[in-house]
Amino acid sequence: MDRVPPHIPNRAKFWREPAFASIEMLQATYRTHRFPPHAHDEFAFGVIERGAQAYLDARGHRLVMPERTICVINPGSVHEGRPALEGGWDYRMMYVPTADLANMLNHERRPLRSTLHFSETVIDDPQTMRLLYEAHRCSESTDIHPLEKASRLTAALFQLVQRHAQTAPRTDFSTLLPGAVKRAREYIDAHFVENPTLDVIAEVAGMSSYQLIRVFKHSVGMAPHAYLVQRRVAMAKQLLLKGQPLRQVAVEVGYCDQGHLTREFRRFFGVPPSRSHR
């Protein structure tokens, strides 16, 4: 695996996988960056290329993701990350929507769809790790045919699922949230651009502001404001990947200026937007 010179600061590069337009790729070097609590709507699959990342989830589970291991984070799992070693870590990640994973693999005998779940966050499987790594490198190249990219990625993900995924009865996990929290979260999802106040969100939820903060954080894993910021930054990243200018993106996701978006983007991804996509 490639080694990054020690003088290289935090850096991150996002791109879309050409063969699967909704799959997002990330290659990053993080020397000092600490991720705030956040969650992904998609499965997050990755390979630690160098160093180690310390991982903490909302339930207080702590893990170290060492070099040459696979990291897997299920959709909706609130977590944070930081360097586990002085030199930080390098990794390659892919963010795969549940529906896309099912569509890629649903011609196989094993039923997938929304029932997929991984019980292990850190997986020591050198063969599958190598398949994921090579598929990711292949995606990054501009000289490789899209058919080869699609074939490598599909083969790597199928082996990961076949060896390490579990299935469970289909459940809409949003229905397990308290009704008030579900209403609050859905309101934030629909109105985060408008910068709704805590009082407005609490009124939608049907409880006091203080009650909402406590119940929302307990159920979702982060406070309402943190959830709102995460939705804004995630949307900003999607728009930037589509080629929209930073100034326009800042306005579209609810920031008064691009400087504010840049600060929040750096807090989440360790780099400013201008250095985050190819």
* DSSP symbols for 47-112: EEEEEEEEEEETT--EEEEETT-EEEE-TT--EEEEESSTT-EEEEEEEE-HHHHHHHHTTSSS--
Q: For every one of its 278 residues, what pLDDT tens digit does the chain have, with 9 covering 90 and above?
A: 655 555 668 999 999 987 788 899 999 999 999 999 999 999 999 999 999 999 999 889 999 999 999 999 999 999 999 999 999 999 999 999 988 888 777 654 454 444 789 999 999 999 999 999 999 999 999 888 888 998 999 999 999 999 999 876 554 545 556 889 999 999 999 999 998 999 999 999 998 888 888 899 888 989 999 999 999 999 999 999 989 999 999 999 999 889 999 999 999 999 888 877 76
The residue with tokens 């991720």 is: 35
Instruction: Answer whether 41's CB lies under 8 Å from 24's CB.
Output: no
Same-domain pairing of 110 and 53: yes
Same-domain pairing of 150 and 178: no
Same-domain pairing of 189 and 261: yes
Same-domain pairing of 137 and 30: yes
The model's pLDDT over 194-233, given as tens digits with 9 standing for 90+, comes to 989 999 999 999 988 888 888 998 889 899 999 999 999 9
Same-domain pairing of 163 and 40: yes
Same-domain pairing of 42 and 103: yes
For residue 124, the domain's CATH number is 2.60.120.10
**Structural domain includes residue 45:** yes
Q: How many domains does the chain have?
A: 2
Burial of 267 (0-12, 13-18, 19+ CB in 10 A): middle
Same-domain pairing of 204 and 66: no
Same-domain pairing of 245 and 178: yes
Same-domain pairing of 124 and 189: no
* Amino acid sitting at position 247: R
Of the residues 141, 167, 193, the one at which a domain ends: 167
Of the residues 167, 185, 203, the one at which a domain ends: 167
Structural domain of 230:
173-275
**Structural domain includes residue 3:** no
Predicted structure pTM score: 0.82
